[in-house]
């Protein structure tokens, strides 16, 4: 008995789903649900294809109260740029949580992941950054550098952005894009220590394997979100910073232990703080977030299947409302 | 930069991909590749949604020499029949193994899984069943009971089929279907011991949690393929039978230990034969298969991602050749 499914392309989804407070609130709700303990989120399925310098990750999560669950497939093939193709691709599939039937295919080439990843940065900033942020710093110059600043600006309308990257030209281009999209001052900053010193909110968005942010740069009234590490070899933040901060929060402890900043800190024996709180516990009010204007806070984001289920559910609703995408009987 | 993908529905795929020797040979090649040790096949991602009596499994495998890899999502929602819906559904996605780009979506509702599962039964029968099979027995009365007999008949053109099921009416209906599709004698057999005694090839296709085939029923010149167990609670074959057989073969040892018949035998302390050979090793000639007409052999099939990559690659080729399905720029 065929049933209709929705098929939406990247172009459809770029029209329908933006980086706005609706998106941030949806992702925030997913984090709150994660704290309830009733979310089912299996470990990430990961497969490396070494011959092609590629890998593919599959994430999923069931969130009670959401009537669908997403399965997201994210291939990353890092020789693609040589072929004129983007490294990151993929799609999301939304299934009914009642019947398991396919309800929607989002052929988004990773767009929804970009959005939900940036939205998680906004959730972290909302709950952990100082109330007043005048300058935000971003390390890294890629898509997430731009989107993280856009997302954070929704919850902390800062007046200035500093951008650091290994390549000064890319940093300048990134700053120009941010200035244009947010209509604020943005400039490249060649000295990462200076960037951190001048910022109240810093987001690291690099694929670094050696820390780009030193512990000695931490200062009172700073929040750092590290969103670049999502693999067992990556490390953006000096492990000593995790121990030195007043509060270190994971998106998901089990993931941060193996894929995030916590991995390096545990391996170095520097993290002795036991099980860190999760962002969802802070969102849900089960754990305090920032407790003073002077506190130093760090949030480690590795990306969760719960965010995918949240953004896919939102995308389906918006596409339905607007008649976006096409339907197919399968 | 949008690229074209192929989208094929269940109806398209039923036209394009059948249970024939092309399919069996493709799946056999995947097993041979598994034996080479260069296949990358991560553990199955599995998520239970208890509120809906549902589960979802994700399988994948990269096989060197195949230019794509499949990711298969198989939801099983066991209250669906109450809603007039099938329990099993799902889809396969074929990605380029060079770039990770999505190449094809097979919205097959589980059809390709049915075919590749039956094809694995044919591969097992080809390499392990006695040369001469006059009577084949099947335990269970569902889709796989029918397809396993169809598949096995491709490699062992037996003259008669016996069908056992807990429900005699269903067994009779299954036998009638098999007789019609293969044009041979097929009848229900109420006594499972009799069925095994009269058969040279038996395939078990049940979701049983207690053995349906007893060790004392084994007889010289018998091959048994157990394909029903694919979960930690299932068990079709008396664990003593595994130890009593001359040869016990797994599709994938790591899966059979946790999902197949081997699990129960290990738990009961009955299996002391060390690491069993895999079907791929037999196919590739690295391990002997049947060594005499009188041997008793057992093959344990849990279903592998390699089979999915093989059938998806075949489906893409056939759809392209025939212009089946539709294309979409994503």
Question: Are B242 and B253 in contact, with CB atoms under 8 Å apart?
Answer: no
Q: Is residue B122 part of a domain?
A: no
Q: Please give the pLDDT value at position A226.
A: 97
**Which chain B residue has the Cα nearest residue A84?**
B1
Q: Are residues B216 and B83 in the same domain?
A: no
Could you say which of B84, B90, B100 has the minimum Cβ distance to residue A76? B100
CB contact under 8 Å between B330 and A77, yes or no, is no
pLDDT band at B229 (very low <50, low <70, confident <90, very high): confident
User: What's the domain count of chain B?
Assistant: 2
User: Which residues of B are less than 8 Å from A49 in CB distance?
Assistant: 40, 62, 69, 97
- A143: closest CA of chain B, how far (Å): 16
Is the per-residue pLDDT at B65 higher than 80? yes
B1/A93 CB distance under 8 A? no
Mean pLDDT of all residues in B89-103: 96
B196 and B138 in a common domain: yes
List the structure tokens of A97.
């949580």
Q: Which of A10, A40, A328 is facing B330, going by the closest CB pair?
A: A10
pLDDT band at B297 (very low <50, low <70, confident <90, very high): very high
d(CA A190, CA A164): 6
- Among the partner residues A58, A62, A100, nearest to B89 by beta-carbon distance: A100
Q: With an 8 Å Cβ cutoff, are A47 and B62 in contact?
A: yes
Number of Cβ atoms within 10 Å of the Cβ of B324: 18
Question: Residues of B with CB below 8 A from A58's CB?
Answer: 45, 58, 60, 71
CA dist., res. A202 & res. A225, Å (int): 6
Instruction: Give the mean pLDDT of chain B.
Output: 96
Q: How far apart are CA A260 and CA A256, in angstroms?
A: 4
Q: Return d(Cα A91, Cα A75) in angstroms, integer.
A: 9
Q: What is the structure's pLDDT at B216?
A: 98
Q: Which residue of A has its CA nearest to B76?
A: A100
Owning domain of residue A160: 127-303
pLDDT tier at B232 (50, 70, 90 boundaries)?
confident
Please state, in angstroms and as integers, the Cα–Cα distance from residue B280 to each residue in A109, B33, B130, B175, B277, following that order.
Answer: 35, 7, 18, 31, 8
When pLDDT is cut at 50, 70 and 90, the band that residue B1 belongs to is low
CATH number of domain containing A297: 3.40.50.720
pLDDT over 80 (residue B46): yes
Compute the radius of gyration of chain A from its Cα atoms. 19
Is residue B85, in this structure, part of any structural domain at all?
A: yes
Angle at the Cα of A252 (from A247 to A254), degrees rounded to 5? 110
Query: Which residue of B8, B14, B100, B109 is the best one to mutate when testing the A interface, meaning the one whose CB has the most A CBs within 10 A?
Result: B100
Residues B12 and B154 in one domain: no
Q: CA A40, CA A52: separation in Å to the nearest integer?
A: 32
Nearest-neighbour CA in chain A from B48: distance (Å): 8
Q: Is residue B119 part of a domain?
A: no
Are B134 and B271 found together in one domain?
yes
* Contact assignment for B62 to A75 by CB distance below 8 Å: no
**Overall average pLDDT of the B239-252 stretch:** 97
Which residues of B fall within a CB distance of 8 Å from A107? Answer: 5, 102, 328, 330
- B229: Cβ contacts below 8 Å, ≥ 6 apart: B208, B235, B236, B259, B260, B261, B263, B300, B302
Judge if A179 and A260 occupy the same domain: yes
Interface probe with A: pick from B67, B74, B99, B111, most Cβ of A within 10 Å? B99
- Which residues in chain A are contacts of B9 at CB distance < 8 A? 2, 328-330
**Contact: A73, B85; criterion CB under 8 Å:** no
Residue found by looking up tokens 């389906």 in the block: A316
Distances (CA, A) of A186 to A118, A196, B18: 18, 15, 60
Q: According to the model, what pLDDT value does residue B231 have?
A: 77
Other beta carbons within 10 angstroms of residue A295's beta carbon come to 18
B328 vs A contacts (CB less than 8 Å): 7, 9, 107
Give B2's pLDDT tier (boundaries 50, 70, 90).
confident
Tens of pLDDT, residues A246-268: 999 999 999 999 999 999 999 99
Return the axis-axis angle of helices A143-155 and A168-182, rounded to nearest 10°. Answer: 40
- B interface mutation test: which of A13, A62, A92, A100 has the most B CBs within 10 A? A100
Chain A residues whose CB is inside 8 A of the B60 CB are 45, 47, 56, 58
B95 and B46 inside one domain? yes
Q: Partners of B299 in the beta sheet?
A: B225, B249
Residues A72, A92 contacting (CB under 8 angstroms):
yes
Position A233 confidence tier, pLDDT thresholds 50, 70, 90: confident
Residues in chain A: 330
Whether A297 and A310 share a structural domain: no
Cα–Cα distance between B283 and B299 in angstroms, integer? 13
Strand partners, B137: B162, B202
Same domain, A159 and A277: yes
Hey, which residues 105-124 in chain A have their CB within 8 Å of chain B?
Answer: 105, 107, 109
Answer yes or no: is B316 within a domain: yes
Per-residue pLDDT, B21: 98
Domain identity same for A160 and A270: yes
Is the per-residue pLDDT at B309 higher than 70? yes
Q: Can you give the pLDDT at residue A1?
A: 67
Binary contact (A45, B51; C-beta < 8 A): no
Taking the CA of residue B197 and the nearest CA in chain A, the distance in Å comes to: 40
Check whether B263 has a pLDDT greater than 90: yes
Q: In A, residues 34-93, which contact B (CB 8 Å cutoff)?
A: 40-49, 51-52, 54, 56, 58, 60-62, 64, 69, 71, 73, 75-77, 80, 83-85, 89-91, 93
**In chain B, what residues touch A90 (CB-CB under 8 Å)?**
100, 102
- Using the Cβ of A304 and the Cβ atoms of chain B, whether some distance falls under 8 Å is answered with no
Confirm whether A121 is domain-assigned: no
pLDDT tens digits, one per residue of A195-222: 999 999 999 999 999 999 999 999 999 9
- Phi, psi dihedrals of residue A162, rounded to the nearest 5°: -110, 140
Same domain, A103 and A156: no
Task: Calculate mean pLDDT across residues B157-178.
Answer: 98
Interface contact flag, B99 A58, Cβ < 8 Å: no
Choose, out of A36, A91, A99, the residue to mutate when testing the contact with B (most B CBs < 10 Å): A99
Residue B121 located in a structural domain: no
Is A120 inside any structural domain?
no
Nearest residue of A to residue B56, measured between CA atoms: A100
Which chain A residue has the Cα nearest residue B83?
Answer: A99
Of A54, A60, A109, the CB nearest to B330: A109
Q: What CATH code is carried by the domain that includes residue B65?
A: 3.30.1780.10
Range in B6-20, B101-115, B140-154, B220-234 the model is least confident about: B220-234
Task: Sort out which chain A residues have CB atoms less than 8 A from B7's CB and list them.
Answer: 7, 328
Whether residue A185 lies inside any domain: the answer is yes
ipTM of the predicted structure?
A: 0.86
Residue A124 predicted with pLDDT over 90: yes
For range A141-159, the mean pLDDT: 97
Q: Could you tell me which residue, B37 or A249, shows the higher pLDDT?
A: A249
Structure letter (DSSP) for residue A190 = S
Regarding whether B276 and B217 lie in a shared domain, the answer is yes
pLDDT average, residue stretch A12-39: 95
Same domain, B242 and B157: yes
Give A2's pLDDT tier (boundaries 50, 70, 90). Answer: confident
**Could you report the per-residue pLDDT of A172-201, keeping only the tens digit for each?**
999 999 999 999 999 999 999 999 999 999
Asked if the Cβ–Cβ distance from B83 to A99 is below 8 Å, we say yes
Q: Write down the mean pLDDT value for chain A.
A: 96
pLDDT band at A232, cuts 50/70/90? confident
Nearest CB among A11, A91, A99 relative to B102 is that of A91
């Amino acid at each position: 008995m065929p049933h209709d499914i929705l098929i939406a392309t990247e172009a459809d989804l770029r029209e329908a789903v933006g980086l706005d407070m609706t998106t941030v609130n949806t992702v925030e709700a997913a984090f709150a649900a994660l704290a309830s303990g009733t979310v089912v989120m299996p470990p990430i399925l990961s497969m490396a294809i070494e011959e092609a310098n590629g890998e593919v990750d599959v994430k999923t999560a069931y969130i009670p109260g959401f009537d669908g669950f997403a399965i997201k497939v994210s291939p990353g093939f890092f020789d693609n740029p040589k072929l004129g193709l983007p490294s990151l691709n993929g799609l999301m599939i939304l299934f009914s949580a009642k019947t398991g039937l396919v309800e929607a295919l989002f052929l988004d080439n990773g767009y929804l992941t970009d959005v939900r990843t940036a939205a998680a940065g906004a959730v972290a900033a909302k709950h952990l950054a100082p109330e007043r942020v005048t300058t935000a710093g971003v390390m890294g110059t890629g898509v997430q550098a731009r989107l993280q600043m856009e997302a954070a600006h929704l919850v902390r309308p800062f007046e200035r952005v500093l951008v650091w990257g290994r390549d000064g030209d890319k940093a300048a281009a990134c700053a120009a894009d941010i200035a244009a999209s947010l209509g604020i001052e943005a400039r490249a900053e060649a000295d990462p220590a200076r960037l951190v010193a001048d910022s109240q909110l810093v987001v690291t968005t690099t694929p670094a394997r050696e820390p780009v942010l030193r512990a000695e740069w931490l200062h009172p009234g700073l929040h750092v979100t590290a969103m670049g590490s999502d693999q067992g070899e990556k490390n953006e933040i000096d492990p000593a910073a995790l121990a030195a901060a007043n509060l270190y929060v994971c998106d998901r402890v089990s993931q941060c232990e193996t894929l995030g900043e916590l991995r390096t800190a545990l391996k170095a024996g520097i993290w002795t703080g036991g099980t860190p709180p999760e962002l969802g516990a802070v969102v849900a009010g089960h754990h305090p977030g920032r407790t003073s204007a002077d506190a130093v806070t760090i949030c480690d984001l590795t990306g969760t299947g719960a965010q995918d289920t949240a953004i896919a559910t939102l995308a389906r609703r918006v596409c339905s409302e607007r008649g976006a995408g096409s339907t197919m009987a399968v």
